[in-house]
Amino acid sequence: MDTDLLVLGAGAKGAAIAMKVHVLNTLGLGPVSLTIVEATGPAGAWMDGNGVTSSREVLAISPSKDVGFPYQARHAFADAGEAVDRAAMEFSWQRYLVEHGRYAHWVDAGSPPVQRRVYGAYLTWVLARAVEGVSFVNGRVAQVSLDGERWLVDVAAAAGPCRYSCQAFVLTGPGVPHSLPHDFDAAPHLLDCDRGRMEIARAPVAESSDIGIVGGGESALSSVEFVRALRPDAHVTIYTPGLPMSRVESFLENRAFSNPQEVDWSSLSLRTRTEFIARSDRGVFGPERVGVFAFDERCHFAPGRVVHVAAERDGGGVWVDYEATGGIERNRHDFLINCTGFDLLEQMRLLLSYDARAEVERRAGPVWERPPGSELAIGRSLELRGMLPRLHLPNLAGVSQGPGFANLGSLGLLADRVVAPLFVAQTAAPRSTQRQSETPATAAAPAAAPRRPAWPSRVRGHGG
C-alpha cells in the first residue's frame, strides 16, 4: 500500500501532523496521504497504564500550546498560510473546551496547565476529527527497509501483516529506555519508570519503604510523586548526575521554544544551544512540582552518577554504587527506579534492516558511531540531513533546529516543517503549466477533490 507519509506513533506529534494533512486536503492544497501506525489506544502514552508517567501529573507547559501552535503557517505554505492557520484553529485547545462546555471553567481557574490524561483526551479528540487523507493502523512496525527512493515499512497489524511504501517516514515516541549497569540477580528490584514501578505497589510496605530513583528530569519527578502517593512514609533518594536543577521559564526561553527563527537558533554555537536545552528542558524539574518536597525530611538528593547496581545477598533489595565528588559511595534500597531517559537512535537502529542502516550511514554519514560531542545533522524539515527518502526525527531535532521540536513547545511548527516538502512536491507540477502570476495557493489547488485513503469507521489505535 502506498502513502506519502508514514508516522510511527499517534501521540502529540502524530496528532499535529494528522491535523495539518487534514487541513491541507480539505482546503484543496493536497492531495497528501498519511498513515499513522500505533499499537495502543488513542494517545495511549498520555493515558493511565501506557506511558512513562501515571497520567495524573500536571504538564509543565500550557495546553494553549496545542497541535496548531504557534499558528504561523505562512513560513511553510506562503500565501496559503493564513487559510491553513484559520482551518487549524478548528482543532485548537480552546475549540476542544468549547465543544465540551468546559472553556469557562478553565479560564475561571486561571487557564492552568492540565494533567497528562486531560491533554491526552484532547489529542484523542484531534485524532478522531483529522480524517481527510489520514489512515490509522492498529499494529506495530516490525521492520523498515529501503526500495530505491522509498521506504518499505512492514507492520504487524491486528488484521494481519502488511507492507507500506512511503516517500517519507516519521519516527516519534521516546525510544528505547537507557539501562543501568547491574547484576543479573538485581533485575527484580531494578524497575523502569513505565509499568515496572508498579511492582512497588505489589510488595509489602515493609519491603518497599526505601526507594532510590535515578534521573533528574520529569520522569524522575513523576516517580517521586508516584512513590509518595503509594508510600507516604517511604525514604526516597534521588540520584542526579549533577546538582539538581529546576526549569528556567520566562518569555525569553519560551520564545526560543515557540519560534526558533526569532532567536536565529541555528546561528548559535553548538555549546550555547546544548547548554540552553540542558538548563530549560532536559534533566530539570518543574519548580512548582518540586516545591512539594522542599521540606520533606524523608526525601533527599544524592548528586552523582550511578555506576553499578548489585543484588543484596538475601535478594531483598539492591546496593547502589554511585560516583560522588569524594569517590564511589554505596547505598542500600528496597527498589531502584531507572529514570535516565530513552535512546531514539537505538529504536531506529532496531527498526531498520541491516542494509537500510548501512545505506543511511552511507548517505547521511555516521549516525550511531558519531564522535563524542558531535551534532547529529538534522535539516529544516526535521529530517536526517542527506537522506532521501526523508527520515524525519523530530525528537532529535532540538539541538539543530530548535528546542520545542523535541517536546510540546511548537507542535504546529513541527507539523509545518514535516508536511511542507509534500506540499511543495504537490504544487510543483501544476505551477509549471499555469501562469506565473498565480499565487502558490491558487496553483496548489487541484481540480479534483483530494484523495482519501480508506480508513476504519472509528480510530482503531493511536498512542505514544
Q: Which residues contact 271 (CB under 8 A, 6 or more apart)?
A: none
Cell of 99: 465543544
Q: Between 129 and 274, name the one with better pLDDT.
A: 129
Cα angle value 17/354/7 (rounded, 5°): 10
Please give the helix or strand (H or E) that residue 82 lies within, else none: helix 81-88
pLDDT higher than 50, residue 335 = yes
User: DSSP label at 217?
Assistant: S
C-alpha cell at 73: 503557517
Position 442 pLDDT exceeds 70:
no
The reported pTM is: 0.84
| Among the ranges given (130-144, 372-386, 399-413, 437-451), the one the predictor scored with the smallest mean pLDDT | 437-451
Residue 458: the pLDDT is: 33
More confident residue, 308 or 406: 308
Count of CA atoms in the C-beta half-sphere (13 A) of 161: 4
269-296 burial code (b ≥16 CB/10 A, e <16): eeeebbebbeebbbbbbbeebbeebeee
Give the CA angle between residues 97, 99, 104 to the nearest 5°: 45
Return d(Cα 225, Cα 202) in angstroms, integer: 17
Which residues are 134's β-sheet partners?
Answer: 34
Of residues 402 and 44, the one with the higher pLDDT is: 402
Render 308-340 in DSSP notation, one character per residue. EEEE-TTSSSEEEEEEETTEEEEEEESEEEE--
- Which three three-digit cell numbers place residue 330? 554505596
pLDDT for the residue 455 = 36
- Cβ atoms of 227 and 236 closer than 8 Å: yes
Q: Secondary structure of 134-175 in the HEC alphabet? A: EEEEEEEEEEEEEECCEEEEEEEECCEEEEEEEEEEEECCCC
Between 100 and 449, the higher pLDDT residue: 100
Give the residue from 301, 191, 296 showing the smallest Cα distance to 242: 301
Nearest to 66 by CA among 37, 89, 44, 87: 89
Residues 6+ apart with CB under 8 A from 372: none
The mean-pLDDT minimum among 280-289, 307-316, 388-397, 403-412 falls in 280-289
The stretch 115-141 carries a mean pLDDT of: 94
Q: What is the pLDDT of residues 217-259, one digit of tens each?
A: 778 888 888 888 888 899 999 998 866 666 656 667 778 888 8
**Of 149 and 374, the one with more pLDDT:** 149
Strands of 225-345 (E only): list them. 235-240, 299-303, 305-311, 318-324, 327-333, 335-338, 342-343
How many whole angstroms separate alpha carbon 383 and alpha carbon 299? 42
Handedness of CA 331, 177, 393, 254 (dihedral sign): negative
pLDDT at 459 over 60: no
Whole-number average pLDDT of the chain: 84
The residue with cell 537522506 is 387
Q: In what order do the strands lie in the sheet with 327-333?
A: 305-311, 318-324, 327-333
